[in-house]
Amino acid sequence: MDKQRRKELIGEYKTRQPEMGVVSYVCTMTGEMFLSAAKDTKADVNSTLTKLESGFHPNKRLLELWKEYGRDGFVISTLETLEYEDGVEDYTQDLEVLRDELLVQNPGAKKVWR
């Protein structure tokens, strides 16, 4: 890859606006729900699945359910998205507030992590 093409790709990556929101992991066998505040929902799902499949996820209950029921035992979806305009600003607090509101709306739901 030449330097100009590399520069273009880096520029595109920096200006992209990934979907931000709250990702839900629901165990279909038990009904247990786990919520994650994500700056990039696709990356969050990919990261979580990698940790679960490798057996090294920090949420022990989620990992336990994953080991018992596997990928087919879960429904993974984006519950709500956060609309934003500036890709540079940090929206962590907004995402955590959104996740916490959804935790209140879904009694029994737990945070995926933190």
Residue 112 phi, psi dihedral angles, 5° rounding: -65, -45
* 51 contact partners, CB below 8 Å, separation of at least 6: 57, 58
Q: Locate tokens 């609309």: which residue? A: 83
Amino acid at 2: D
Q: Break the chain into its structural domains and give their ranges.
A: 21-111
Cα–Cα distances in angstroms (integers) from residue 95 to residues 9, 19, 36, 53, 64, in the given order: 27, 12, 9, 26, 26
Q: Tell me: the pLDDT tens digits for 9-36? A: 888 877 778 999 999 999 999 999 999 9
Q: Tell me: the pLDDT tens digits for 57-80? A: 999 999 999 999 999 999 999 999
The fold of the 21-111 domain, in CATH, is: GIY-YIG endonuclease (3.40.1440)
pTM of the complete model: 0.86
